Amino acid sequence: MTLGVTAMAVEEPGVGSGWRTFTVILEAEEDGGYHAFCPVLKGCHTQGDSLEEALANIREAIEAYLESMVAHGERIPAEDIYIKPITVKA
């Protein structure tokens, strides 16, 4: 099962320049728990034993990823993905 969820990242409300929204994908693992990743931030993956833990972990991973990008003078990418279910003959 795959769930699409939007995660807020970067800073707390009212602090600094603001918030950014990133799409994260959560996939149920066969042996329990969830794999979470942010497609627009290549290599930004994590996992958790529950949906709540996976979401907390991906939020933390996104924040660390963005912090590293800023520290290295890299531009934070704009969200440019579209998730759309399609039906195919199987």
Model confidence band, residue 13 (pLDDT cutoffs 50, 70, 90): very low
- Name the 3-class secondary structure at 9: strand
CATH code given to domain 2-71: 3.30.160.250
Q: pLDDT tens for residues 25-83?
A: 999 999 999 999 999 999 999 999 999 999 999 999 999 999 999 999 999 998 888 88
Which residues lie across from 24 on neighbouring strands? 5
Does residue 11 register a pLDDT over 60?
Answer: no
Considering just the CA atoms, what is the radius of gyration of the chain in Å? 14
Looking at residue 17, what is its pLDDT? 65
Residue 5 Cα distances to 24, 47, 63, 85, angstroms: 5, 14, 16, 14
User: The whole model's pTM is what?
Assistant: 0.76
Parse the chain into domains and list their residue ranges. Answer: 2-71
Looking at residue 83, what is its pLDDT? 85
Looking at residue 3, what is its pLDDT? 52
In 10 A of CB 51, how many CB atoms? 15
